[in-house]
Amino acid sequence: MFQAGISWRVIEAKWDGIRGAFKGFDPHEVEAFGPRQVDALLANDEVIRSRPKIEAVIDNAGTLLELDAEHHGFRRYLRARGDTAAVAADLQRQFRFIGPSGAYMFLYMVGEPVPPHEEWPVGRSRRPTRTGK
């Protein structure tokens, strides 16, 4: 979600600071962030200082925990959605700042089956060509 609208180079350069500021993305810790922590993050030059993105991380931690509890495991939630396209579409509905590329990257990073990147449609109107471009 941090990458949306921002260069990957910027994200990569700040990634260690982002990971540290968000407690390694432990959803239990992040969900508990309140206004004081948000203000501290907005003043921290080691992170992307965007209130909407910071608040999205906090909200998404809560959503992840809710889905985990509701489905008796987050992986069960993922696997109950259907094929990869259906899972990605549901991730985009459930979580803030998750678009098609973010959904693909998330699924790839957590070890879910995904098609080759060059075959992944970036948006509804774009479809890969035979050459994958």
**What pLDDT is attached to residue 122?**
60
Cα–Cα distance, 95 to 64 (Å, whole number): 8
Q: Would you give the end-to-end CA distance of the chain in angstroms?
A: 24
Q: Kind and range of the H or E element at 87?
A: helix 84-94
CA torsion sign, 7 to 10 to 13 to 15? negative
Mean pLDDT of the chain: 88
pLDDT for 5 equals: 73
Helix (H) or strand (E) holding 61: helix 51-70
Do 66 and 57 meet the contact criterion of CB atoms below 8 Å apart?
no
pLDDT exceeding 70 applies to what percent of the chain? Answer: 89
